[in-house]
Amino acid sequence: MEAKQILDMIFTIVGGLGIFLLGMMSISDGMQAIAGERLRKLVNAVTNNRFIACGVGTFVTSIIQSSSVTTVIVVGLVNAGIMNLTQAIGVIFGANIGTTMTAWILVIKISEYGLPLLGVSAIIYLFTKKEKLRYTAMACMGLGMVFFGLELMKNGFAPLKAVPGFEAWFSRFSPSSYFGVMRCVLVGTILTAIVQSSSATIGITMGLAFNGIIDYPTAAALVLGENIGTTITAWLASLGASTTAKRASYAHIVFNVIGVLWITAIFGFDTKAIQSFIIWQTGHEVSASTIADGKTTFPYVMEAIAITHTCFNVLNVIVFLPFVRQLAMLLGKIVPDRKIPEKPKLTALDIRLFDAPVIAIEQSQREIVAMGDVVLDMMAKLKEVFLDNNPPKEKREKLFQQEIELDVIQKEIVEFVSQIMTGSIPHDVEEHGRRQIRMADEYESISDYIANILKLNLKLKDANQPITDEGIKAVSDLHDKITDYIMMINNAVKEENSQILKDAQSKGRYITGLMKKYRSEHIARVERGQASPLKSIVYTDILNSYRRIKDHGLNIAEVLAGEK
């Protein structure tokens, strides 16, 4: 073979692989945008029930079209403390079943229509204004790229049969013995670890088998190795993560390695059973060839490879699913707890979630809700300190510490959401992100005013000018009304209730009127000489700070209603 032919073959294969991978990414992005709300609900539905967790993993991976992405997301959720190890293992099991959808997509005999599908979908994607149709076109465009990329790889591999000694060299990896099977498994593992996409390596394997360069048993053994190789992505994602997140990534490795070990023990029986099924279904041997345009191809091997991939993962899940808790205990021994306690994070946000923006935005929403809970806790502590003539130093310091922490949390949320919004995301996710940034800012401002009220109160106590009983009663009443107000706003944030604005405005006006009433009563006390100038200024500032807390709560209600 001439150097030019070799270069053409390499360029065709590499180009086809690149288009294939880009297509897989487009399918993932498009399907996530279309099924975004359903994905969020599914992740929230994950429970300790292994069957539900497995079902969620299967469905999510069928949409995302990548078990690697699903397991990386799971590692991120575990690292964030949102998902426990038992839940994660169930989802990972399901992800292994969901990823088999890719092989079946490749079995569909419309590869030659990949380019027209790509072209039509690209035109719709570029010129349509309807967002749902646009992302549907993106998913179809990705499907076209997958088919076109596979067709290029098939054509690229075809000349290999004409290379002298190639088939003889490849025969060294023939799975004619147990060690031969394991050699093929090792090749599949290494190739997938390099490419970091089992879908791509399965596409390569199908391309080789379709052109008769490798036989079905060799392809089947390579597929088993590709299932091990795909675990490298989650393992890399777990580096630097929490102990539990590391255990989740190891669960993926243990699941696939042990599965391959027991399947290879019955490899001969397994492959013969699948070949018999193909004969029963199609009436043709797996090795049967067809000739078209002067090219000899082996179309039935494609379906056999897809069945092999599916059977391996489904059978493996059936074997492992009853032992989820036992596997979690084993992983506890494989990855023991750190002797030095892990430093707790202020937020549960994790960059590993960027691969699925619709899920990532749901996690940042949880942090907004958590900020609201912290603000309510600060309000409770503030009242305790305010009513105590000699409040413990620890309580004061804890409240100031919470204000500092909310500053950091707000910064982390803004950075996380901003990063999500830099990618190609659906309009509703972008809108959700903007609302979250605004709400995080409002909650952080509320915490500032709570800390400010505490400072003002301490200032009076240090000056030995305590507020009168009437003043304390007024502030206490105003405090309770605003606490109830913030609680109402928090509930609306949790439920994403866009109808809250009317109630928020009505109750907000009542609180403003109450504040003005208490300020007028204070001015009357000043006129009677019952308050010094310092006390008058500080007391008025306290009332104004409470009003500002109410104003920021109202701003959150306006954000929920879509007015800001």
225-251 confidence digits (pLDDT tens): 988 988 888 787 777 677 888 888 888
Nearest to 383 by CA among 476, 513, 451: 476
What pLDDT is attached to residue 376? 94
Residue 159 has which token pair?
A: 């000349």
Q: What residues have CB less than 8 Å from 323, skipping those under 6 apart?
A: none
Q: How confident is the model at residue 537 (pLDDT cuts 50, 70, 90)?
A: confident
Q: Are residues 81 and 194 in the same domain?
A: yes
**Residue 192: inside a domain, yes or no?**
yes
Mean pLDDT for all residues in the chain:
83
pLDDT digits (tens, 9 = 90+) for 253-270: 899 999 999 888 888 888
- Comparing 92 with 75, the larger pLDDT belongs to 92
**Residue 170 has which token pair?**
């490849």
Domain housing 483: 351-560
- Residue by residue, DSSP assigns 318-335 as HHHGGGHHHHHHHHHHHS
114, 160: one domain: yes
Burial of 529 (0-12, 13-18, 19+ CB in 10 A): exposed
pLDDT at 547 (0 to 100): 92
Q: What tokens does 521 get?
A: 């009563």
- Answer yes or no: do 10 and 139 share one domain: yes
Overall domain count for the chain:
2
Are residue 367 and residue 501 in the same domain, yes or no? yes
**Is 426 found in the same domain as 328?**
no
For residues 301 and 400, membership in a common domain is answered with: no
148 in a structural domain: yes
Say whether both 433 and 498 belong to one domain. Answer: yes
The DSSP code sequence of 113-133 is GHHHHHHHHHHHHHH---HHH
Look at residue 345 and tell me if it is in a domain. no
Mark whether 85 and 213 lie in a shared domain: yes
How far is it, in rounded angstroms, from Cα 237 to Cα 475? Answer: 51
Q: Which of 342-351, 366-375, 534-543 has the lowest mean pLDDT?
A: 342-351
Q: Are residues 467 and 545 in the same domain?
A: yes
The residue among 306, 334, 362 that closes a domain is 334
* Residue appearing with tokens 């907000």: 508
Distance of alpha carbon 224 from alpha carbon 460, whole angstroms: 74
Amino acid at 46: V
Is 233 a member of any domain?
A: yes
344: in domain: no
Q: Is residue 389 part of a domain?
A: yes
Instruction: Provide the 10 A C-beta neighbour count for residue 368.
Output: 24
Of 39-53, 79-93, 309-323, 433-447, the poorest mean pLDDT is in 39-53
Domain contains 145: yes
Nearest to 98 by CA among 352, 309, 277: 309
Q: For the chain, give the percent of residues with pLDDT over 70.
A: 88
Q: Which two tokens stand for residue 121?
A: 């979908």
Evaluate if residue 345 carries a pLDDT over 60: no
Q: Indicate the residue among 300, 334, 368 that finishes a domain.
A: 334
Q: Cα separation of 157 and 170, whole Å? A: 14
Selected residue with higher pLDDT from 69 and 323: 323
Same-domain status, 503 and 553: yes
pTM of the model: 0.71
pLDDT tens-digit profile of 131-183? 888 888 988 898 888 888 877 887 777 676 666 555 555 556 677 788 888 88
Q: Give residue-wise pLDDT tens across range 354-397.
A: 667 877 888 888 889 999 999 999 999 988 887 777 777 888 88
> Pick from 308, 334, 360: which residue ends a domain?
334
Instruction: Decide if 399 is inside a domain.
Output: yes
Tell me the pLDDT band of 112, cut-offs 50, 70 and 90.
low
- Looking at the fold, whether 379 and 326 belong to one and the same domain comes out as no
Q: For residue 266, how many C-alpha atoms fall within 13 Å in the half-sphere facing its CB? A: 11
Highest mean pLDDT among 93-97, 167-171, 200-204: 93-97
Are 289 and 296 in contact by the 8 Å Cβ rule? The answer is: yes
Residues 164 and 94 in one domain: yes
> In CATH, what number is assigned to the domain containing residue 358?
1.20.58.220
CB 248 within 8 A of CB 281: no
Q: At what angle do helices 3-34 and 131-157 cross, to 10 degrees?
A: 160
Min mean pLDDT across 118-122, 163-167, 387-391, 470-474 is at 163-167
